[in-house]
């Protein structure tokens, strides 16, 4: 049974246990009790009936056969590409995301309340936790306090926490390709369509980072410490700008440089 594996990232070697995944996604369960934002309808699951066939074992059918209604941007954990703000029909997540394993860093930050009452994740607070000489491929941002209410929050109309646009700009300029956060959006709920952080992170439309992604509505349990992880960013193959997703972390432990590595992350292709 495989219990340990190693990788090299920027000439540093780490070990991780593939049998100890840390799931930081939120479930897509039906009903109004689950996390929701941007006035999306709750997830709905309907039993399909065709003639005498009933797609429910509980109702006497031979199998469960159901239709699911969901809104990726509004229901649960989701990953999006620059197609979220582009009219380009080719800007779909299935085309933009062509790697699924990344070296990630988890940081925790307390948003700062502005004069207008907005809670904002400030660039300087996050940058203070990053080493500009050794940056990850993916950044996972956990906002504090980290209560369990994030699992069921109804964010619509509440003006939830968002990012200072200069933070998104910093991440783009320093080559961090994937941003994950426990908020409904990197931008203010209502900003007149400016979407400054989205544009800054993707550098759209002039120097678009076509392989960069943003994952929203994650939940990082307190047991997951700040630090370095291998990220497995799992998505569906929906031909859309966004998909429900399941980001999974594996804790990385530094080992001596003499340990052979079966996976190399020394140079990202993008």
pLDDT digit string, tens, across residues 190-247? 999 999 999 999 999 999 999 999 999 999 999 999 999 999 999 999 999 999 999 9
**pLDDT tier at 269, thresholds 50, 70, 90:** very low
pLDDT at 270 over 90: no
Question: Tell me: the pLDDT tens digits for 103-145?
Answer: 999 999 999 999 999 999 999 999 999 999 999 999 999 999 9
Question: Which stretch of DSSP H or E encloses residue 121?
Answer: strand 119-121
Query: What are the structural domains of the chain?
Result: 5-26+77-256 (3.50.30.50)
What residues form DSSP beta bridges with 106? Answer: 140, 227
Amino acid 263: pLDDT = 55
- Mean predicted confidence (pLDDT) in 253-267: 60
Q: What is the pTM of this model?
A: 0.94
How many angstroms separate the CA atoms of 181 and 143, rounded? Answer: 8
pLDDT of residue 4: 87
The per-residue pLDDT for 267 is 46
Predicted local distance difference test score (pLDDT) of residue 260: 46
How many Cβ atoms from other residues are within 10 Å of residue 4's Cβ? 11
Model confidence band, residue 268 (pLDDT cutoffs 50, 70, 90): very low
pLDDT band at 3 (very low <50, low <70, confident <90, very high): confident
Residue of 184, 179, 161 lying closest to 77 (CA atoms): 184
Does the pLDDT of residue 256 top 90, yes or no? no
Least confident of 47-51, 212-216, 264-268: 264-268
- Give the H or E element holding residue 107: strand 101-109
């Amino acid at each position: 049974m495989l219990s340990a594996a190693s990788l090299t990232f920027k000439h540093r070697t780490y070990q991780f246990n593939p049998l100890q995944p840390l799931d930081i996604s939120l479930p897509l369960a039906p009903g109004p009790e689950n996390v929701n934002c941007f006035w999306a309808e709750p997830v709905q699951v309907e039993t399909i009936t065709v003639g005498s066939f009933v797609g429910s074992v509980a109702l006497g059918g031979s199998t469960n056969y159901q239709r699911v209604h969901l809104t990726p941007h509004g229901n649960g954990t989701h990953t999006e590409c620059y197609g979220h703000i582009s009219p380009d029909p080719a800007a779909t997540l299935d085309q933009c995301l062509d790697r699924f394993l990344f070296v990630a860093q988890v940081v925790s930050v307390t948003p700062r309340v502005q004069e207008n009452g907005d809670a904002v994740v400030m660039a300087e607070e996050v940058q203070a936790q990053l080493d500009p000489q050794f940056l990850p491929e993916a950044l996972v941002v956990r906002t504090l306090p980290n209560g369990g209410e994030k699992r069921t929050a109804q964010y619509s109309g509440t003006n939830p926490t968002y990012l200072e646009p200069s933070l998104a700009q910093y991440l783009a300029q320093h080559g961090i390709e994937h941003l994950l956060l426990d908020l409904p959006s990197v931008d203010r709920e209502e900003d007149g369509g400016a979407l400054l952080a989205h544009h800054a992170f993707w550098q759209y439309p002039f120097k678009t980072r076509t392989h960069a992604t943003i994952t929203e509505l994650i939940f990082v349990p307190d047991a997951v410490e700040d630090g370095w992880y291998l990220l497995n960013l799992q998505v569906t193959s929906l031909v859309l700008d966004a998909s429900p997703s399941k980001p999974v972390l594996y804790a990385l432990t530094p080992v001596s440089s003499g340990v052979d590595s079966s996976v190399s992350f020394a140079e990202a292709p993008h």
